[in-house]
């Protein structure tokens, strides 16, 4: 057991966990942040995706003991971070997923939205090919990819529209 100092969704948290616990286990079972999903648990599905220093990584394959010092963002952090940055309501990616009905069972959604958020942070108006590539590490078992891609395109279109108007 070691006491870890983690930076999660803008907060500094101290949490005790054994060395063999993954970041996903600490998020879900120590901190109650159950938005990150435990899917395949071996790096295939992307349901456990979190942002580490702004880039998507898989928390099921990342040891909590090796996650100190990085800024970790989970799905629970998207709305507060958006508000902190001066926005209103949910993150535009979350809003677009909601309006496009970009979910069926919803299990892949947190990972999908975080991968999409990272893409939008990196690139102002990515193409559909770039969207597909950025989301290619996230599987949707309901195969609802069409609405998911539409949602990311909607978030991009509204951002581009807001800038141009």
Partner 1 sequence: MLRLPKFEVEKPTTVDETVALLSEKTGDVMIIAGGTDLMPNMKHELFTPKKLVSLAGVSALFGIREEAGALVIGAMTPLDQVANHPLVAERAPALAQAAGLVAGPQLRRMGTLGGNVMLDTRCQWYNQTYFWRKSLGFCLKKDGSACHVIEGGSKCVAAASNDTAPALMSLDAKLTFANADGQRELLLDDLWKSDGIFNKKVPPSDLLTEIRLPQREVKHLGAYGKLRDRGSIDFPLFGVAVRIDIDANDVVVDAEAVSVALQARPTRIRKFGESLVGTTLGSPEFEKGVQAAASLGHKQCRPMPNVPGDHEYRHAMVPVYLKRTILAAAAGAGPVHAV
Side by side, the strands of the sheet bearing 2-8 are 11-17, 2-8, 71-73, 49-52, 55-58
**Residue 131 Cβ, how far from partner 1 at the closest point, in Å?**
12
- Closest to partner 1 by CB, 66 vs 83, is 66
- Closest to partner 1 by CB, 67 vs 94, is 67
**Residue 134 Cβ, how far from partner 1 at the closest point, in Å?**
6
- Closest to partner 1 by CB, 98 vs 122, is 122
- Closest to partner 1 by CB, 51 vs 95, is 51
**Residue 31 Cβ, how far from partner 1 at the closest point, in Å?**
17
**Residue 140 Cβ, how far from partner 1 at the closest point, in Å?**
13
- Closest to partner 1 by CB, 11 vs 44, is 44
**Residue 70 Cβ, how far from partner 1 at the closest point, in Å?**
10
- Give contact residues for partner 1 (rule: CB under 8 A): 18-22, 38, 41-44, 46, 49, 55-58, 60-63, 65-66, 115, 133-134, 136-139
User: How many C-beta atoms surround the C-beta of residue 11 within 10 A?
Assistant: 11
DSSP string, the chain: -EEEEEEETTEEEEEEE-TT-BHHHIIIIIS--TTS--SSSSSSS-TTEEEETTEEEETTSSBGGG-TTSEEE-HHHHHHHHHHTT--SS-HHHHHHHHHT--SS-TTHHHHHHHHHHHHHH-SS--HHHHHHHTTT---TT--HHHHHHHHHHHHHHHHHHHH-
């Amino acid at each position: 057991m070691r006491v870890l100092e983690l930076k999660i969704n803008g907060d500094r948290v101290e949490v005790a966990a054994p060395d063999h616990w993954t970041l996903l286990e600490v998020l879900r079972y120590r901190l109650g942040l159950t938005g990150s999903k435990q899917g395949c648990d071996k790096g295939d599905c992307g349901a456990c995706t979190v942002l580490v220093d702004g880039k998507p990584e898989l928390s099921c394959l990342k040891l909590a003991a090796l996650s100190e010092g990085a800024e970790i963002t989970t799905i629970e952090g998207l709305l507060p971070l958006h508000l902190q940055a001066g926005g209103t309501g949910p993150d535009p990616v979350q809003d677009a997923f909601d309006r496009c009905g970009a979910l069926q069972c919803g299990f892949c959604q947190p990972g999908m939205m975080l991968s999409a958020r990272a893409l939008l942070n990196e690139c102002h108006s990515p193409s559909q090919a770039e969207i597909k590539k950025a989301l290619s590490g996230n599987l949707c078992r309901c195969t609802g990819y069409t609405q998911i891609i539409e949602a990311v395109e909607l978030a991009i279109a509204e951002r581009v529209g807001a800038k141009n108007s």
